[in-house]
């Protein structure tokens, strides 16, 4: 009988797996940079769409006061907008959570909207999904190609750093 | 990694968050002094060696050891030296400089989260001077072209007790 015994040297892979799952280090930095990239993208999109440059339905009723007659869509108090600030500042209604090899960003938390009387996250969900009588105005969407390319670049740089032992 | 090393490393990260800069300035043309090479400087530039970007620590404007009863403030300056080896503004100086400016605007996301002793310590980042020059033989070495010196200042704040504890 011929028997082949193959030994796989996986200590490098194990070390890599350990590094990737660490709460600090280049991979975590890159994932947080992803969060920043994503919020930059959705906030920039928010600006464009709230000015009528996307597929958000226009406001149904014009507001009464002068300058507000041209109010931007979903920008009444600026709360939904500010929750998407690119730099993480724990703004009301914003979340950023580290996940295993990932990051969760968007709306969340218990903060109440100053006018709606419900939580900011719930209000965002109502607009985002068009719940009740609200028209659908999607805020949380897939990142565009440019943002994805930047994310790929961030992770490539982080992996190289990890490989270099920085 | 101590805070100075972390800031130096993060300044390169800051530059390279710009995918345009990461493409424009090739890896071999990013001269950094935190790697294993004892002398990473190139003494003569070939066309493939530009644009070249060097990051130097420049020292400090001020270090206030008694900023408050419990904090120490430190402003450390760094200089990016850009050698384009190219006299065309659009292909050389303007493109890289503009992308550097855009990258620097992202400082809060890259420098802001740096921690030492589990505390964030970078409180501010500013561009303090930008000087462009033509035929700067020292920076462009043997190639004619625009060069630029971008001086930035990083404001760090530490708990004095943490500094003493690190003795």
Q: Which domain holds residue B7?
A: 3-36+45-165
Contacts for A94-100: CB closer than 8 Å, 24+ residues apart: A95/A121, A96/A32, A96/A35, A98/A23, A98/A28, A98/A31, A98/A32, A100/A21
Q: B51 CB contacts (<8 Å, ≥6 apart)?
A: B24, B25, B29, B82, B83, B84, B85, B86, B92, B96
pLDDT in tens, A20-56: 778 888 899 999 999 999 999 999 999 999 999 999 9
Look at chain A and report how many structural domains it folds into.
1
State whether residue A86 sits within 8 Å of chain B by CB.
yes
Residue A129 lies in a domain: yes
Q: Which domain holds residue A103?
A: 20-57+73-164
Angstrom distance (rounded) from CA A126 to CA B147: 53
Q: Which ranges in chain A belong to alpha helices (H)?
A: 11-21, 26-50, 79-82, 120-129, 145-164
How long is chain A?
A: 166
Q: What is the CATH number of the domain that holds B155?
A: 3.30.2000
pLDDT in tens, A74-91: 998 999 999 999 988 899
User: Considering CB atoms only, which of B9, B16, B109 is closest to A36?
Assistant: B109
**Closest CA in chain B for residue A158:** B13
> For residue B20, which residues of chain A lie inside 8 Å, CB to CB?
none
User: Considering CB atoms only, which of A24, A87, A153 is closest to B109?
Assistant: A87
Residue to mutate among A23, A27, A157, with most B CBs inside 10 A, is A157
Tell me if A30 sits within 8 A of A98, measured CB to CB: no
Residue A1 lies in a domain: no
- Average pLDDT, rounded, for chain B: 89
Residue A47 lies in a domain: yes
Degrees, nearest 5: CA angle B142-B143-B145: 140
Look at chain B and report how many structural domains it folds into.
1
| ipTM here | 0.70
């Amino acid at each position: 009988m011929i028997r082949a015994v193959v030994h796989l040297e996986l200590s490098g892979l194990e070390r890599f797996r350990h590094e990737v799952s660490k709460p600090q280090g280049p991979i975590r930095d890159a994932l947080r940079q992803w969060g920043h990239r994503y919020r930059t993208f959705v906030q920039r999109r928010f600006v464009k769409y709230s000015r009528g440059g996307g597929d958000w339905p226009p406001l149904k009723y014009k507001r009464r006061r002068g300058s507000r007659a041209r109010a931007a869509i979903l920008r009444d108090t600026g709360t939904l907008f500010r929750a998407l600030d690119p730099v993480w500042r724990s703004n009301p209604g914003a979340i950023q959570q580290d996940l295993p090899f990932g990051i969760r960003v968007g709306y969340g938390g218990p903060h109440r909207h100053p006018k709606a009387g419900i939580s900011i996250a719930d209000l965002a969900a109502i607009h985002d999904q068009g719940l009740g009588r609200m028209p659908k105005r999607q805020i949380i969407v897939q990142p565009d190609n440019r943002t994805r390319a930047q994310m790929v670049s961030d992770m490539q740089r982080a992996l190289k750093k990890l490989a270099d032992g920085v | 990694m101590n805070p100075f090393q972390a800031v130096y490393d993060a300044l390169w990260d800051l530059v390279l968050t710009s995918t345009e800069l990461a493409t424009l300035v090739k890896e071999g043309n990013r001269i950094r002094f935190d790697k294993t090479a004892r002398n990473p400087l190139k003494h003569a530039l070939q066309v493939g060696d530009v644009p070249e970007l060097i990051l130097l620590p420049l020292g400090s404007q001020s270090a206030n050891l008694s900023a408050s009863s419990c904090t120490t403030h430190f402003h450390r300056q760094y200089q990016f030296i850009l050698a384009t080896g190219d006299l065309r503004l659009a292909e050389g100086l303007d493109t890289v400089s503009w992308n550097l400016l855009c990258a620097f605007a992202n400082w809060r996301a890259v420098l802001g989260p740096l921690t030492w002793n589990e505390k964030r310590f970078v409180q501010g980042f500013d561009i303090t001077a930008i000087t462009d020059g033509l035929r700067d033989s020292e920076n462009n070495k043997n190639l004619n072209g625009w060069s630029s010196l971008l001086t930035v200042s990083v404001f760090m704040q530490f708990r004095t007790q943490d500094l003493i504890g690190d003795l």
